[in-house]
Amino acid sequence: MELHDVPMVTRLLRNYLNQFEVAPNLDENDVEHWLLPTENVVDSYVVESAESHKVTDFCSFYSLPSSILGNQNYSILKTAYSFYNVATKTPLLQLMNDVLIVAKQKDYDVFIALDVMQNETFLKELKFGPGDGKLCYYLYNYRLRNALKPMELGLELL
């Protein structure tokens, strides 16, 4: 993803996030700030139509390294966290398989994806293991009538 992709990615992401009960309302400044690639912080990729040169798909992940204590061979665990992913032409399973390959090429040790948004559709097929905890979002000044299912949540928090 490059700076000139920001308007198209913003439209794609906003259209995608509209289907969820809770999701951020991102504008171009937000997309530029949060999703434009920054080395060792966030990686974002677009798929562009060869005919129209429009962005059809988008995927991203952010980096959150951890220190490894007491090991003489390794000092850092390089972890990638799936961020926002939108598939309109490329199947989401293929898009996520491709981003896993990219993360491996960039020497990430672990790739984590929550079961929010449409992530549940690829987790088993791509052999993600279930986590051992439960993630709770505390949203200030929000009132929801019912508890949300993970697939109704279009939100990733850093």
Instruction: Just list the catalytic residues.
Output: 158
Q: Which two tokens stand for residue 137?
A: 């979002």
How many other CB atoms are found less than 10 A from the CB of residue 86? 24
CA atoms of 117 and 65, how far apart (whole Å): 24
**In 22-141, which ranges are E strands?**
42-48, 55-63, 66-67, 76-77, 79-87, 110-112
The amino acid sitting at 8 is: M
| Degrees, nearest 5: CA angle 10-147-125 | 60
Q: Residue 46 forms beta bridges with which residues? A: 58
Judge whether 6 and 28 are in contact, CB under 8 Å: yes
Residues pairing with 47 in the sheet: 57
